[in-house]
């Protein structure tokens, strides 16, 4: 076949390949399928014996082989190489294509890949995949199938428009993959949030003359705050509120673990301090003190109105009694999961008709205005308006609305959880 005929054939093959790649731009096929299609099309076009497609890992400052076409038994997919190594690394760094007719004469040739794969590289063509001045990777083809032939500048020129289109197709595929991953993560978070909410008790509870209401407003899909109410029989019940360190998914997962631990121990122990002590040891063994949770736990007898409580580093609870200043209920104790072997103090308090008892997480008091003024405990007490006659549930709803109003309706920076108890007259 004449040289002129060969050129016509190469031209037809080039345009056909270019057309095939252009159909990938608007396709929604998977990222891996795009890479394979691009790679096989270009290697076939050049009648190469082998080839590899490398993508840039910007975080690791490396190039990684994502696809390879080579003789049976030679496998280099997943191979990583620092950007400063080899002809591929140089091609990506300089954004310049390379035609190497004999790699033995090039000191940049990284022999380690051949050594580990068992393949013998004679000649090489390497071209960067660039889109909008960004190098997304490089295509490397090795050895013409005909051992008497070498790669030429003509091969390089033929790959020019193809490499640009390949880079665009890869960039589009990456964006499509990120979109799918984001949608999947969003769906998983939504399902996790539903599951987490399903673990919470009903927000309203009534035992004798005591009414309880609980409300939580998460700042993320998964909440690091939680509350619980556990009936213990004979008119007794455990009532708690907790706040996990951190935010988002890690806090949400740890909150689920902590809630389950406290629930189990509360069913087996009567003493709040003992419950926190054992929960602390379990959480330390489970997480290795990487996370912690503050807790305010009380056990209440609805008949005698006697409340026993202990706290693990949580905000003091507030007791409102008509005609008296608000009282902060405190006890000594560190957050659960922070330090092993630490004792927890237990206290008792006699509830009376008309009392309003409120537990809260720091998302309520640490809310900030647009001027960056913190609401604080005093501001929170004013918002509660203990002397105002209103349904307990409606009071909690109003309080959360007024906290958001104080913040100027800015995005909520932390979970807000409230748990309140009122003794009927």
Contact predicate 196/253, CB 8 Å? no
CATH number at residue 119: 3.30.450.40
Say whether both 330 and 260 belong to one domain.
yes
**Model pTM?**
0.62
Task: Give the pLDDT of the chain (425 residues) as one tens digit per residue.
Answer: 444 445 445 555 555 655 555 555 445 456 566 667 767 777 777 888 888 888 888 887 899 988 887 776 667 788 898 888 889 899 999 999 888 888 888 888 888 888 877 888 888 899 898 877 888 888 888 888 888 888 888 888 777 666 766 676 677 767 777 777 777 777 766 766 676 666 677 888 999 899 999 998 887 666 778 999 999 999 999 999 999 987 777 777 888 889 989 999 998 888 999 999 999 999 998 876 678 999 999 999 999 999 999 999 999 999 999 889 999 999 999 999 988 988 999 999 999 999 999 999 998 998 888 888 899 999 999 999 877 788 999 999 999 999 988 888 777 778 899 999 999 98
Say whether both 169 and 269 belong to one domain.
no
Domain that holds residue 262: 201-423
Say whether both 158 and 227 belong to one domain.
no
The DSSP code for 106 is -
Say whether both 218 and 294 belong to one domain.
yes
Say whether both 250 and 356 belong to one domain.
yes
CATH number at residue 349: 3.60.40.10
Rounded to whole angstroms, the Cα distance separating 80 from 189 reads 32
Say whether both 77 and 152 belong to one domain.
yes
Q: How many CA atoms lie within 13 A of 86 on its CB side?
A: 24
What domain count does the chain have?
A: 2
* Dihedral (CA of 285, 286, 287, 293) sign: negative
Say whether both 49 and 165 belong to one domain.
yes
**306: left (phi > 0), else alpha (psi -120 to 50), else beta?**
beta
Would you tell me how many other CB atoms lie within 10 Å of the CB of residue 338? 18
**56 Cβ contact list (under 8 Å, min separation 6):** 62, 63, 83, 92, 135, 136, 137
Rounded to whole angstroms, the Cα distance separating 408 from 425 reads 37
Helices (H), 272-336: 272-287
Rounded to whole angstroms, the Cα distance separating 413 from 198 reads 23
Say whether both 64 and 98 belong to one domain.
yes
Specify if 152 maps to a domain: yes
């Amino acid at each position: 076949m004449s040289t002129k005929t060969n050129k016509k054939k190469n031209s037809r093959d080039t345009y056909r390949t270019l057309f095939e790649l252009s159909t990938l731009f608007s396709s929604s096929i998977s990222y891996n399928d795009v890479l394979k299609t691009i790679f096989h099309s270009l290697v076939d076009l050049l009648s190469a014996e082998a080839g590899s497609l490398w993508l840039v890992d910007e975080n690791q400052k490396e190039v990684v082989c994502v696809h390879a076409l080579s003789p049976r038994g030679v496998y280099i997919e997943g191979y990583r190489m620092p950007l400063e190594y080899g002809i591929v690394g140089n091609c990506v760094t300089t954004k310049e294509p390379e035609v190497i007719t004999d790699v033995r004469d090039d000191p940049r040739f990284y022999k380690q890949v051949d050594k580990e794969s068992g393949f013998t590289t004679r000649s090489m063509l390497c071209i960067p995949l660039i889109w909008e001045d960004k190098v997304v990777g490089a295509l490397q083809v090795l050895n013409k199938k005909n051992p008497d032939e070498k790669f030429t500048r003509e091969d390089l020129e033929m790959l020019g428009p193809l490499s640009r289109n390949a880079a665009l197709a890869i960039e589009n595929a990456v964006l499509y993959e990120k979109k799918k991953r984001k949608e999947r993560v969003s769906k998983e978070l939504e399902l996790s949030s539903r599951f987490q909410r399903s673990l919470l008790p009903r927000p309203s509870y009534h035992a004798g003359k005591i009414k309880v209401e609980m409300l939580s407003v998460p700042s993320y899909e998964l909440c690091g705050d939680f509350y619980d109410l556990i009936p213990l029989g004979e008119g007794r019940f455990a009532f708690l509120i907790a706040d996990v360190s951190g935010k988002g998914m890690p806090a949400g997962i740890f909150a689920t673990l902590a809630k389950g631990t406290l629930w189990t121990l509360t069913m087996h122990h009567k003493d709040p301090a003992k419950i926190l002590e054992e929960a602390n040891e379990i959480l330390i063994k489970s997480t290795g003190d990487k996370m912690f949770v503050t807790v305010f736990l009380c056990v209440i007898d609805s008949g005698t109105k006697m409340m026993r409580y202990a706290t693990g580093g949580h905000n003091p609870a507030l007791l409102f009694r008509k005609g008296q200043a608000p009282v902060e209920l405190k006890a000594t104790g560190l957050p659960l999961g922070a330090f092993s072997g630490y004792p927890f103090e237990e206290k008792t308090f006699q509830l009376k008709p008309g009392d309003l008892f409120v537990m809260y997480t720091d998302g309520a008091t640490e809310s900030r205005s647009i001027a960056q003024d913190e609401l604080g405990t005093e501001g929170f007490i004013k918002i509660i308006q203990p002397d105002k006659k209103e349904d307990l549930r409606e009071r909690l709803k109003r309080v959360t609305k007024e906290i958001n109003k104080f913040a100027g309706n800015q995005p909520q920076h932390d979970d807000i959880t409230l748990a309140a108890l009122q003794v009927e007259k």
